[in-house]
Structure 1
């Protein structure tokens, strides 16, 4: 409304003017129609507080993340009750330092314990905190609360969870209670059902700590043995016992693979460099069961930054997400010609030195 040409106009009039040449005008109009449909039937204060608060959460979060999309982000989940003398606290700090050294930002829930340790290790320039307003008083940890423009306060858990998964390029889950396990299971559910593109998910605990090995035995293997998940779904997860190992796995995940786009019945894997014909043939032989129809094809596509990238696309069996992770692992292990410079793992786009 600061534009003088809009003086005296209502917000709806201003919106109508700004929509004239908007590339997503159709989707914005659909959103407005949905709001109008709700408005016809709902008169209650609670309902409109919910809608207004959720939209405000989304608007504020998009504003914070918009200028930071070029840097990949590792989200660290873990207990807010972990004390500084706990080995997990020191490990979370070390993890964040390794992540920043590899070019990643570090994202947490902005609370104490593991979250505080990760923000401490990352420092202001590489920390992002996603806090949530609770009925009782809650303060963001001091290592992110003082970071200008890097702390978000969400009104609702569901909008906070949305942005954790939407903006994360990797998840590291450390020992924690109900909240941590909720975040882990929700992440697994969204990944396994193909509602979010594949990202590395690492279970990290200090050396000698059996927290995740026991959990994997009792949950993952138990579910697989009962036929409740596919045997290869265990490959969605990777267990680590050092910060270096966790960040090395995440960095390798983006060695050749850049990102994925999931359609209704197709998947497009964007790459950092093109495959050789013999490598593509080998992938088709090894992962024929992952393809519903046809074969894995090599082509080119434009990424979100407008850069032309090599890619693989195929009709994808969405019930085989664990098998997709096996394909990505094989893909990232392929030999790359020396002259092909790969993107730094913590960056979505190549640096200025890249060809």
Structure 2
């Protein structure tokens, strides 16, 4: 078939070829997104992207595919990611704290996700056991190989890039425990806080767990409050979403308690919808407005049926709902509201 030189004709021919490729591959679902991925790859070729740019893109997509496949069988299980230093020895009380926290959560049905390395990562994987842990390791020139708990490659993937690794360590989990560590641990902790502060990730419990009597995370808190909040770079309540503790029992209670009643949220235009297992009574709703009404930009916290947009998407219609129009930069208050909703159960 002769193609005219007009861009529209060339694009139409290309779209048709992509559709044929998708059909021949036997793909039946999410075809529009598959088409976008293929078209973007071809677009990189048209842009004459450098070899390095193409290698980064190809490796990132390949690594994400491997990680998606790793997590797919465990979609319905709650997951907790544990961060901490690879250099922590088994004789350090932090090692035992990580092991004990992971064991306690594993016993409650949680799957434990780590970076698959030594130190705190090995401690958490040991506590969870090989059947209740998954690892996302990374190839590094100066660090040790994956720990013995993650030798089974069916429960581990190895990545080249930190950004794809961090994505997968965060994306699937419904809670996080960070133990003291170096640059990597602080990077991961600040990323968690940034995602929560900016609303790029849904609210989740974050615990900063120290050794008994330790000062690592209190020093971190002091820096954040005095230097970051003190100079106006963050809001004063931005750290309110985090529990700092040296107690394994408190850490486990924080992770599990966060999901006692609260389930998820969704934005519908300027309205925030919080989905819960049990709706507040009239008296409880009045109390919530007394405690958290200042979170609202206008109006009040209200009980509601699923909104039309939610019904159209069949989005968790079995759950109860409360809604509000929140003011900007009220992340700390939102966490307190979620805890208030959990307290009604």
Tell me the TM-score normalised to structure 2 length.
Answer: 0.86
Confirm or deny that 1:121 pairs with 2:121.
no
Matches within 5 A, 1:170-319: 170-262=175-267, 265-297=270-302, 298-300=304-306, 308-319=318-329
Would you say how many aligned residue pairs link Structure 1 and Structure 2? Answer: 324
CA shift, 1:287, in A, is: 2.3
CA contact (8 A) 1:299 1:313 kept: no
| Residue in 2 that maps onto 1:353 | none
Relative contact order (C-alpha < 8 Å, sep 6+): which is higher? 1
Equivalent-residue separation in structure 1 for 2:166 and 2:49 (angstroms): 28
CA shift, 1:263, in A, is: 5.8
Q: Mark the runs of 5 or more structure 2 residues left unpaired by the alignment.
A: 1-16
Matches within 5 A, 1:114-193: 114-136=120-142, 138-146=144-152, 149-193=154-198
Equivalent-residue separation in structure 2 for 1:280 and 1:167 (angstroms): 32
CA shift, 1:52, in A, is: 1.0
Which digits, 9 at most, give the CA deviation of each residue in 1:91-131, with x for residues without a partner?
Answer: 11111111112221111111110111110111011111110
Task: Look up the SS of the partner of 1:229 in the other structure.
Answer: coil
Matches within 5 A, 1:325-340: 325-334=335-344, 336=345
Task: Look up the SS of the partner of 1:323 in the other structure.
Answer: helix
| Residue in 2 that maps onto 1:67 | 73
Tell me the TM-score normalised to structure 1 length.
Answer: 0.83
Equivalent-residue separation in structure 1 for 2:278 and 2:26 (angstroms): 38
CA shift, 1:305, in A, is: 8.8
The 1:72–1:47 alpha-carbon spacing in structure 2 relative to 1, beyond 3 Å, is: same
CA shift, 1:221, in A, is: 4.2
Task: Look up the SS of the partner of 2:297 in the other structure.
Answer: coil
| Residue in 2 that maps onto 1:5 | none
The 1:73–1:20 alpha-carbon spacing in structure 2 relative to 1, beyond 3 Å, is: closer
Q: Mark the runs of 5 or more structure 1 residues left unpaired by the alignment.
A: 1-9, 337-355
The 1:162–1:117 alpha-carbon spacing in structure 2 relative to 1, beyond 3 Å, is: same
Which digits, 9 at most, give the CA deviation of each residue in 1:253-299, with x for residues without a partner?
Answer: 11111123356644332212222132223323432332334433332
Task: Look up the SS of the partner of 2:196 in the other structure.
Answer: helix
Equivalent-residue separation in structure 2 for 1:117 and 1:208 (angstroms): 20
Equivalent-residue separation in structure 2 for 1:265 and 1:305 (angstroms): 18
Give me the CA root mean square deviation: 2.5
Equivalent-residue separation in structure 2 for 1:154 and 1:142 (angstroms): 18
Match among 9, 15, 28 for residue 22 of structure 2: 15
